[in-house]
Amino acid sequence: MPLTADDARAIADAFHSAYEAIDRYLDDNWETISRSDYDTLNEAGKTLLRGSAAMRTEAVGLSIDQMADASAELQQVIGDAKESLARLETIGTVIRLAAGLVDLAKGILERNPGRIFNASREIVRTIADA
C-alpha cells in the first residue's frame, strides 16, 4: 500500500517524539553520563531528526500531489472568470448590436414609460445572454 501524506506525517511525528525523549534524557543526565555515551545518544537524536525531516518533505510532496485535481478545477474556474470579464468588456458592443439603446431612445422620444421599461428589460436580457 502506498504511503499517504498522513502516514508520512505520523512517521515524522514518531521520529520527532523519539528525539524528544533522547533530548530529555540528556538534559536530565548529562552531568553523570560519559562523553562518549552523550555523543552516541546525541548522534542518535540527530539521526531521528533527519528521519523526521525526510518524512516532512515526503508529506509535503504527497500533499502537493493530492491537490492536483483541486488545482485543475480551480484553474477552470479562473478561466471562466476571465471569460466573464472579457464578456463584460464587450457588453457595450452587444447592446449596440441588439439595438437596445435605439429602442430606449425611441421610448424617451415618445415619452412612453412602457416602451422605456420594455427597452431596458431587453437590455438586461441581452446582457444576461451575452
Partner 1 sequence: MLQQKSILRIKVLSVLLACALSACTDLSAVREWSGTSLEATQFNEVVATYADTPERVAFYDKEKASFWETQSKERRAQAKALELQLSLVGDYMEALHVLSADGVTDYTEDVDQLTGSLKNTGLVPESTVGAAGNLATTLLNAATNAWRKGEVGRLIGEANAPLQKILAGELRSIVDEDFRGDLAIEAGFLDSYFKRLLRIGGGSETANAALNEWYVLRKQENARRIVAVDAYLRVLDKISEGHQKLYDNRNDLDAVQLVQDLFKLAKEIRKNVTELMKA
**Residues 6 or more apart from 82 whose CB is under 8 A from it?**
none
- Of 1 and 35, CB closest to partner 1: 35
Minimal distance in Å, beta carbon 86 to partner 1? Answer: 11
Q: Where are the alpha helices (DSSP H) in the chain?
A: 5-29, 35-66, 68-97, 100-109, 113-129
DSSP labels, 17-52: HHHHHHHHHHHHHTTTS-HHHHHHHHHHHHHHHHHH
Minimal distance in Å, beta carbon 99 to partner 1? Answer: 11
Contact 8, 51 (CB under 8 A): no
| Cα–Cα distance measured from residue 47 to residue 50, given in angstroms and rounded to the nearest whole number | 5
Minimal distance in Å, beta carbon 1 to partner 1? Answer: 20
- Of 1 and 85, CB closest to partner 1: 85
Q: Footprint of partner 1 on residues 45-84 (CB under 8 A)?
A: 45-46, 49-50, 52-54, 56-57, 59-61, 63-64, 66-67, 69-71, 73-78, 80-82, 84
| Cα–Cα distance measured from residue 44 to residue 18, given in angstroms and rounded to the nearest whole number | 10
DSSP annotation of 1:
-
Contact positions vs partner 1 (CB under 8 A)? 5, 9, 12-13, 16, 19-20, 23, 26-27, 30, 35, 38-39, 42, 45-46, 49-50, 52-54, 56-57, 59-61, 63-64, 66-67, 69-71, 73-78, 80-82, 84-85, 88-89, 91-92, 95-96, 101-102, 104-105, 108-109, 111, 113, 116-117, 120, 123-124, 127-128, 130
